[in-house]
A and B are shown apart, each in its own frame.
Chain A
Amino acid sequence: MTTTSPPVTTRQGVLELAQVSRWYGNVVAVNDVTMTIGPGVTGLLGPNGAGKSTLLHMMAGFLAPSNGTATLDGRQIWHNHDIYRQIGLVPEKEAVYGFLTGRQFVLSAARLHGLPSPDDAARRALDLVEMTEASGRRIETYSKGMRQRVKVAAALVHDPQVLLLDEPFNGMDPRQRLHLMDLVRRMGEEGRTILFSSHILEEVERVAHHIEVLVAGRHAASGDYREIRRRMADRPHRFRVRSSDDRRLAAALIADLSSSAVSLTEQGIEVQVTDFARFTALLPRTARDLDVHLWQVSPTDEDLESVFSYLISGSSR
């Protein structure tokens, strides 16, 4: 089975958003976002409802910015159907023409692009996503992961310089996910511009060399995944600790520099941690030295919303 990607031409493939906003009535979905996405794999990270899909749809020409401009290599994307010679789009919505077989679906994409050898292009794209064997079956019989892969094949059939994927790993089993991650990484290394959205940091950092973080419609952070990860780890954490002697343990914890605030509550000790690594080493050691039993140690602000909120406050500092 051939799994090599077709050669990428020397086109640039630089997506640019300049002060882009999008609102629906009084609701602002995307607020004054400026970013440049170049060749390589970029992850668009943010919690559900952050505006990732809205942003991606504006980059794909399916939504007009209410304000600002979205361009590809300097060309306006909205109202420009020629742009699709360069763009491949994998939407999040699962719906595809279920009455077509996988091969017919990808072949129709090749024909709609007016490719000179649509059969060859379709075969190559199906090979690339390892869907050749199942390509004779109707799409309505496919699993969610198979549908996702056949959509990727259709998006890749014309060898686009830019590939936009909206939550591409949703619904895939671990093996399929690893395969698609590998494929995305390889295509990025070949010089394609690949942007994919996700709400899972681990997913993004496994594939993307660059991360753009979107929270509540705002561009919260941008950079290498290590930088984003470091900022997430370094942020102040809040923990709730329950033990056999909360008062003694609280006194010992406040004496150390790893915590900025310790309070005794009916539910136990609330600790505001400023040095995460130091605190996680200190707590069990202190408990052992004081002969205090730890019943519960739980973060109280580990949900994605609070992590992303911290990034927003960080970006505005």
Chain B
Amino acid sequence: MNTVVADITYRAMLGRKRIWLLVLLPVALVAIALLLRLLNGQSEQTAVTLMKTFAIGTMLPLLGLIGGTGVIAPEIEDGTIIHLLSKPISRPVIAVTKFVVAASLIAVFAAVSTFAAAYLLTGMESGVATGFTFGALFGGVAYAAVFLLLGVLTRHAVAIGVIYALVWEGVVGGYVPGARKFSIQQWAQSLADHLSSSAFFSTEVTLGFAVPAMAIVTVGAVLWTGQRLRSLSLTGDD
């Protein structure tokens, strides 16, 4: 972890326009929850549905995409990353720092808004708010690692990331039974399910699979990012 790299990355992510990308979806989630609360009153079933479909199913992968690729891909694209890479700092340290920044941003924006929305709809009933908050927190960390890796593997990280987030996580992971085991979204839901006692909610992926899977994917993706950064080639204009 390098504090100078972290400082520059936080400033790049939170400065000016980019912060709106991170804020938009969480604000939408809380706004929808507030609207549903005003229209229907407290409802555990509504809370679970909103958390599954929007908080974990839509917002989390998109925040992961924005945060994970955002901490590194634009710098590689415009060449500013040379400022960091041309210093006597090991590239894996830069990768870990970028991951910490992305994970912390996604965790804060996703977890806080998830808790707020669930709390608005159901209070602390059946542990729904707590369960989904932890699901968003750890799922967000895994997404940060995967999308960070994508950001150093390809110049088309955002396009590929959108396809992954919406098609694999949203459609295949949600509806194809075999693929569910390999979906971060499903792992996050498994964690939420374990911490919640809601009758409106059950998942197929066991906690015994989800937690190690999240840990392996996260650590593996960060290590791979570090190795990829070591061999990152940058060329001039000729």
Interface residues of A (CB under 8 A from B): 29, 48-54, 56-57, 60-64, 79, 81-85, 87, 89, 91-93, 95-97, 99-100, 105, 108-109, 111-114, 154, 166
List the count of A-B residue pairs having beta carbons below 8 Å apart: 95
Task: Report yes or no: B8 in contact with A100, Cβ–Cβ below 8 A.
Answer: yes
In contact, B2 and A112 (Cβ under 8 angstroms)? yes
- Please tell me if the beta carbons of B86 and A87 are within 8 angstroms of each other in the complex: yes
Inter-subunit contact A97/B86 (CB<8 Å): no
Give the residues in chain A near B90, CB-CB below 8 Å. Answer: 81
Task: Verify A112–B238 contact, CB threshold 8 A.
Answer: no
Would you call the interface of chain B mostly helix, strand, loop, or mixed?
loop
B16 and A99 contacting across the interface, CB-CB below 8 Å: yes
Extra contacts besides A54-B235, A54-B238 (20): CB < 8 Å: A48-B238, A49-B238, A51-B238, A53-B236, A57-B233, A62-B86, A62-B232, A62-B234, A83-B88, A89-B86, A91-B236, A92-B237, A93-B78, A96-B83, A97-B12, A100-B11, A111-B4, A112-B2, A112-B4, A112-B84
Contact residues of B between 108 and 164, Cβ < 8 Å to A: none
Say how far B154's CB is from chain A's closest CB, in angstroms.
17
Q: Mark B73-107, 1 if CB is under 8 A from A, else 0.
A: 00000111011111111110000000000000000
Bound CA span A114–B8, Å: 16
Which listed residue (B8, B91, B238) contacts A81, Cβ 8 A? B91
Q: A62-B82, A112-B84 are in contact. Are A97 and B235 (CB under 8 A)?
A: no
Chain B 1-57 interface residues, beta-carbon cutoff 8 Å to A: 2, 4-5, 7-8, 11-12, 15-16
Given A53-B238, A62-B233, A108-B4: A113 in contact with B87 (beta carbons within 8 A)? yes
Instruction: Tell me the complex Cα distance, A97–B78, Å.
Output: 10
Point out the residue from B5, B234, B237 that lies within 8 Å of A63, measured CB to CB: B234
Name B83's contact: one of A60, A61, A81, A97 (CB within 8 Å). A97
Once bound together, how far apart are the Cα atoms of A197 and B235, in whole Å?
14
With a cutoff of 8 Å between Cβ atoms, the chain A residues found around residue B7 in the complex are: 108
In chain A, what residue has the closest Cβ to B15?
Answer: A99
Contact B236–A57 (Cβ < 8 Å): yes
Nearest-neighbour CB distance to chain B for A48, whole angstroms, equals 6
Shortest C-beta distance, B200 to chain A (Å), equals: 45
Please report the total number of B residues contacting A with Cβ < 8 Å.
31
Chain B CB count within 10 A is highest, among A52, A54, A83, A108, for A108
- CB atoms of B238 and A154 under 8 A apart: no
Residue numbers in A under 8 Å from B79 (CB-CB): 91, 93, 95
Contacts of A166 in B (CB 8 A): 236
Shortest CB distance A109–B (Å): 7
Known contacts A91-B79, A154-B83; is A81 also within 8 Å of B233 by CB? no
For B88, give its contact among A52, A56, A113 (CB under 8 Å).
A113
Whether A56 lies near B236 (C-beta < 8 A) is: yes
Q: Which are the 4 A-B pairs with shortest beta-carbon distances? A: A53-B236, A93-B79, A112-B87, A95-B78
Which residues in B have their C-beta under 8 angstroms from that of A54?
A: 235-236, 238
Contact B4 A93 (CB under 8 A): no
Q: List 12 A-B contacts (CB under 8 A).
A: A62-B82, A62-B85, A62-B86, A62-B235, A64-B231, A82-B88, A83-B88, A91-B82, A97-B8, A100-B11, A108-B7, A109-B83
A196 to chain B, nearest CB (A): 13
Chain B residue at minimum C-beta to C-beta distance from A105: B83
Output the least CB separation between B43 and chain A (Å).
44
- The answer on a CB contact under 8 Å between B237 and A93 is yes
Q: How far is the CA of A54 from the CA of B233 in the complex (A)?
A: 10
Contact B234 A57 (CB under 8 A): yes
* A82 vs B89: C-alpha distance when bound (angstroms): 7
- Which residue of B has the minimal Cβ distance to A92? B236
Minimal Cβ-Cβ distance residue in A for B92 = A81
CA distance A95 to B80 in the complex (A): 6
